[in-house]
Amino acid sequence: MHLAKALTILLLAKCAIIAGKDENKTFEATNEWREIKEGQEIPAGLHVRINFQTKKKEAKLYEPEKDDHKHIALSNVVENEAKTKHKEAAKPAPKISKTLSEALKSLPKERLSIDYSPEQLEQIKRDFKTYSELKKSFSELKDKFKTDAELITQLLDEYKNLSKEHEISLKPQTKLATKLRILEDLDYLVHQIDNALWFIDEGGLEKILLPLVVNETNIDLRIKAVRVLGAVTLNNPKAQIKAFELNFGSHLTQILVSSTATEELSATLYALGSLLRKFPLALQKILSTSGTQALTTVLAKECELKVKAKAITLISDIIVEKNLVLSNYSDSDNPLAAAQYADLNISEWLQSNAFCETVDRLISTNLYELLDQPDSAEYFVIGLESSEKICKSVWSTSPQLRHTLLTIKNRYMHSQNEFRIEVAQMIERLIEVLYSSKSHEEL
Ligand SMILES: *[C@@H]1O[C@H](CO)[C@@H](O)[C@H](O)[C@H]1NC(C)=O
Ligand SMILES: *[C@@H]1O[C@H](CO)[C@@H](O)[C@H](O)[C@H]1NC(C)=O
Ligand SMILES: *[C@@H]1O[C@H](CO)[C@@H](O)[C@H](O)[C@H]1NC(C)=O
Ligand SMILES: *[C@@H]1O[C@H](CO)[C@@H](O)[C@H](O)[C@H]1NC(C)=O
Ligand SMILES: *[C@@H]1O[C@H](CO)[C@@H](O)[C@H](O)[C@H]1NC(C)=O
């Protein structure tokens, strides 16, 4: 199956978004269930569950055959249904060894942390009691765990109940905390592809995420909803199509234009990347209209440099993805994919939105930040490399860009730090490509 092959190989394509270097921030999956610690991020493609006795979240590597027999009826129905119904959407089986590290990189670095007052904590504890009560009503089940599908349905019910008449008595604070907790739980659950499809079939995109992303005024809720959207659509073609049909793409680009909050911009870039990746129709529709402009706006606005690094990385990933498909899938191999990607006029979109000039100005005016942040510097250098052919005429005639790159290169080259030296070498190669016709170097 050509499409499956294309997707599998593309999964290996470089699609890094800034990742945490701090190892313990990321959950290390094994074949055994392990607890997910507070604040840890989980890679995509894992099996996640909530242990109702300890109230802890646990995860392990996804092993379809081994897990199947443990699942009770509903879960199997869901899985089988998903398998038959979405066969054409050809989600490649999770490639743990190769894609795990890529998946890690594509997760946003920060986690939202919320401080609860003592009263809120009390309420949250009370909320959890309803869980144990619900658990009792399922006591006929041998397994002490609910299936993921049941959990998702229950979380959606609970969310819907919050807006019902009889819940109006709840304090707004309590409501907010409960909504955030529900979204947090969903965020863990929908990393599993079948769970994400179940969430969609149950109307989670329309009923919960869309109103939050479009109309919610509380920024914490909006950010959480955008994160869940990113998790639902990550490497999940059917979910990407559904989210695209619901016009999430243009809602996300609007957030990119209007927001200046680091966490919101980061989450939105993550969700937009998940939505667009390996989905040429969405790339065409969204980037040819508001998308490219929104991404360029992020590069030019007042916000943290690491957010801009994510924006340029998203653009760079798309360019790399296109080149990869075109170089490896010629007309005879996968004519449809090749034709769709050939139609993406990324150069035109970037040039007509002054991307090259914006990046020139951005780098030239952020010398000190870039000297301080080798991580960000690396992402910018990769972004420059990927778009070098598109922007060469602008960048090769920019003395300030050349000066900034040379300064960073020299400073990094003389540091004792291996990573900085590596970045310096990348910059050296880039300078050669951009300015090779001018042979003399400053310094
Ligand atoms: C990371 O976790 C390991 C064991 O899980 C521990 O020994 C180590 O000290 C941790 N490192 C940090 C930076 O917390
Ligand atoms: C939602 O409310 C209904 C009653 O309106 C109740 O029966 C149900 O248990 C509630 N569900 C959750 C998950 O709280
Ligand atoms: C957002 O709010 C407007 C005005 O109240 C409403 O018409 C629209 O349907 C809402 N959109 C969503 C997705 O809830
Ligand atoms: C194309 O695929 C081959 C393996 O099939 C791989 O070695 C090569 O690197 C790919 N081309 C690009 C541009 O990545
Ligand atoms: C991309 O746009 C440019 C400028 O409008 C045009 O010259 C070029 O033919 C277009 N390329 C494709 C592949 O559509």
List the strands of the sheet with 46-51, edge to edge: 34-35, 56-61, 46-51
Cα-Cα-Cα-Cα dihedral sign, residues 251, 253, 259, 265:
positive
d(CA 16, CA 174): 37
Ligand 5 atom with minimal separation from the 348 CA: 2
Q: Is 432 in the pocket of ligand 2 (CB under 6 A)?
A: no
Hey, is 32 helix, strand or coil? coil
* Nearest protein CA to atom 2 of ligand 3, as residue: 215
Question: Ligand 2: which of 161, 168, 182 to mutate, most ligand atoms within 8 Å of CB?
Answer: 161
| Under 8 Å between Cβ of 26 and 40 | yes
HSE-CB at 110 with a 13 A cutoff on CA atoms is 17
What is the pTM assigned to this prediction? Answer: 0.68
Question: Ligand 5: which of 340, 344, 345 to mutate, most ligand atoms within 8 Å of CB?
Answer: 345
Per-residue model confidence as pLDDT tens digits over 7-44: 333 332 223 333 334 556 778 888 888 888 777 777 76
Tell me the average pLDDT of the chain. Answer: 78
Nearest ligand, measured from the Cα of 215: 3
Hey, is 354 helix, strand or coil? coil
Q: Is 211 in the pocket of ligand 3 (CB under 6 A)?
A: yes
In this predicted structure, the answer to whether residue 231 has a pLDDT above a threshold of 90 is: yes
- Concatenating the DSSP letter of every residue in 144-168 gives SSPPHHHHHHHHHHHHHHHTSGGGT
Per-residue model confidence as pLDDT tens digits over 329-357: 665 667 777 888 888 999 999 999 999 99
Over the range 93-116, which residues count as b (16 or more CB within 10 Å of their CB) and which as e?
ebeeeebbebbbbbbbbbbbeeee
From the DSSP assignment, how many helices (H) and strands (E) are in the chain? 25, 3
In angstroms, the first-to-last Cα distance of the chain is 55
Q: Is 347 in the pocket of ligand 2 (CB under 6 A)?
A: no
Q: What is the Å distance from ligand 3's center to 250 Cα? A: 15
Per-residue model confidence as pLDDT tens digits over 93-133: 333 333 333 433 443 333 333 445 566 556 655 555 555 55
Q: How, if at all, do strands 46-51 and 56-61 pair?
A: antiparallel
Over the range 278-306, which residues count as b (16 or more CB within 10 Å of their CB) and which as e?
bbbebbbbbbeebbbbbbbbbbbbebbbb
Q: In the chain, where are the structural domains located? A: 35-64, 354-443
